[in-house]
Structure 1
Amino acid sequence: MILLHNVTPKVFGLLARKELHDALRNRWFVLYTLVFSLLALVLSWMGLASGQLYGLAGFGRTTASLINLVMLIVPLMGLTLGALSLALEREQGTLLYVLAQPITPAEVLLGKLLGLATALTATLSIGFGLSGLVLAWRGSTIGLGAFLGLLGLAILLALFSLSLGLLFSSALPRTAAALGSALFAWLLLVFLGDLGLLGSALVLRMPIEALFTLSLLNPLQVFKLAAILLLQSDLQVLGPAGQYAMHIYGLRLLPLSIGLLGLWTLVPLLPAHLFFHRRGAL
């Protein structure tokens, strides 16, 4: 609610369109789009080639393969683009000109978030769209619902990554520092996921309840939990922690995971606004 105070929709929309236009001209964004689309196409083609019956489980097999791709690439895209957004303009001096206008920091922050989110949604839609066209051409529509659901979860994960990147960009004065912090956060989120939880469970002899609660503190693990639930109705693939979660929450686990991922998207925005309001263009 604090972020929405004194936010003018017209100004907010203009800033979002400017950010979208800048993102489309960003060479990193173009590279991310090409890489993600190419990898999605390769995974879909490999999923078809590995099946004896092309029309069966094409979308389901590809959706399972895309989960790891999304967990690896999407946070990297969101974190780096978000970290470069404010810090780069601060170094170039354009942020000082923007804030000299009758515009609030909240409008600038939310405008950048919306513009970058639109750009990343386009990237994900292109990658998923090309993959889906290949599968529909050679296969069937079995598993299409989970495939589209994964796209929605990927967009939520991109929003979280952008929010966290904007937090680094608003708190740190230099582009190098913001980008370095974003890359370090990406490493922590990706490589301290399954490996970190497994190591902690073995060393500390953690109970199942604590292990599951700890996994919810990593948005990438929450995404993985929701994605697996889209593919199948149980979490046996996650071992005892997954079985414990299904036993406790049952059918409520999927909406709970989606809601928690959406909440993680909002968490970095408030401190990002506080840092940006205090630091401004300096």
Structure 2
Amino acid sequence: MSNIFLIAKLDITESFRSRWFLLYMLVFTGLVITFIFSGITDSRVLGFSGLTRLLLLFIQICVIIVPIFILVSTVRSINADRDTNLLEYILSFPISLAEYYFGKALGRIFVIFTPLVFALLLTLVTGVAKDIEIPWQILGFYTALLFSLSIVFLSFGFFISALIKNQEMGQGVAFLLWLVLLAFMDLVLIGFLMKSSVREDIIFFIALINPIEVFRVAAISLFDPNLAVIGVASNFILTNFSTMGFVLYSIFYPIVLGVILLTAGYFIFSSKDLV
């Protein structure tokens, strides 16, 4: 177990020195700072005001930016070590493949989630400084949703990295996966199914196995428990879930899927040639 934390510490130290982490940190910190100074917390739109409106905007941007940042940075994780012969060097020490693989995953999830937590802390500090009511429940659920989203896309990244050795090919697959989950499920697949007279519950089921779609709907449900914004899909969700039940599903489903993908990636990684 100590070797896992040692590999995680090594990955964290290396990531903190990299340019992608600096950019990643600046993006989310800059977003929150921009929202604060633009006066969003002082205005009211469609009943949303204060930190509630800031969080609503922040989370809708996160659903687009977070997955691609995680995929592009994570898919290179193992392959970069392989290409620089660092993987061969590390494994010359008494470290098992499992300790290396899961240590890298542990370090990377810390690196990925830290800027998001920092951005949310800035939001919290803003609320305290401006004496604005803090929506603690929404803030807590958003933190959990962002964590589950980070877990599942980190797992996608490690799975792709274990499956495809070439860094450029891996990044291409990661970008394609992001496009499929972000746009294809909504604009192409579901549209095709609706024109094909497929039952609505099948369409909604397909949408709700997409981690990005699950995250998006859960974020909306915290502000609009009746889900009036998403139209007829709300009947399917509210019939099969309560509002709180769907939020819990949105937190635990991506985590479970992530654990499965991460474990599958390890078995692929350990069964292939390492160099």
Fold shared by both chains (TM-score > 0.5): yes
1:229 counterpart residue number:
221
State which drifts further: 259-268 or 116-125: 259-268
Q: Is the 8 A contact 1:226 1:257 kept in 2?
A: yes
Deviation at 1:73, TM superposition (A): 1.1
- Give 1:261's match in structure 2, choosing from 248, 254, 261: 254
Cα deviation code 1:141-194 (max 9, x no counterpart): 242321232122112111111111111111112211122211221121222243
SS in structure 1 opposite 2:241?
Answer: helix
1:192 counterpart residue number:
184
Q: Is the 8 A contact 2:155 2:258 kept in 1?
A: yes
One-letter amino acid matched to 1:183: F
Q: How far, CA to CA, are the matches of 2:269 and 2:222 in structure 1? A: 37
User: Superposed, which structure 2 residues align to 1:104-115 within 5 Å?
Assistant: 104-115=96-107
Q: How far, CA to CA, are the matches of 1:230 and 1:70 in structure 2? A: 16
Q: How far, CA to CA, are the matches of 2:187 and 2:179 in structure 1? A: 12
One-letter amino acid matched to 2:258: T
SS in structure 2 opposite 1:173?
Answer: coil
Unmatched runs of 5 consecutive residues or more in structure 2: none
User: Superposed, which structure 2 residues align to 1:1-282 within 5 Å?
Assistant: 9-46=1-38, 47-51=40-44, 57-138=49-130, 140-196=132-188, 198-250=190-242, 251-282=244-275
TM-score, L = length of structure 2: 0.90
CA 1:51 to 1:154, structure 2 compared with 1: closer, same or farther past 3 Å?
same
One-letter amino acid matched to 2:247: L
Q: How far, CA to CA, are the matches of 1:185 and 1:133 in structure 2? A: 36
Q: How far, CA to CA, are the matches of 1:254 and 1:197 in structure 2? A: 24
SS in structure 2 opposite 1:103?
Answer: coil
One-letter amino acid matched to 1:87: N
SS in structure 2 opposite 1:79?
Answer: helix
Deviation at 1:201, TM superposition (A): 4.6
Q: How far, CA to CA, are the matches of 2:144 and 2:166 in structure 1? A: 33
Q: How far, CA to CA, are the matches of 1:62 and 1:75 in structure 2? A: 20
Q: Is the 8 A contact 1:83 1:178 kept in 2?
A: yes
Q: How far, CA to CA, are the matches of 1:35 and 1:249 in structure 2? A: 34
Structure 1 runs of 4+ with >6 Å offset: none
Deviation at 1:140, TM superposition (A): 1.4
State which drifts further: 190-199 or 118-127: 190-199
Q: How far, CA to CA, are the matches of 2:195 and 2:176 in structure 1? A: 24
Deviation at 1:34, TM superposition (A): 0.4
Q: How far, CA to CA, are the matches of 1:206 and 1:241 in structure 2? A: 14
Cα deviation code 1:51-85 (max 9, x no counterpart): 38xxx731221222122211111111211121111
TM-score, L = length of structure 1: 0.88
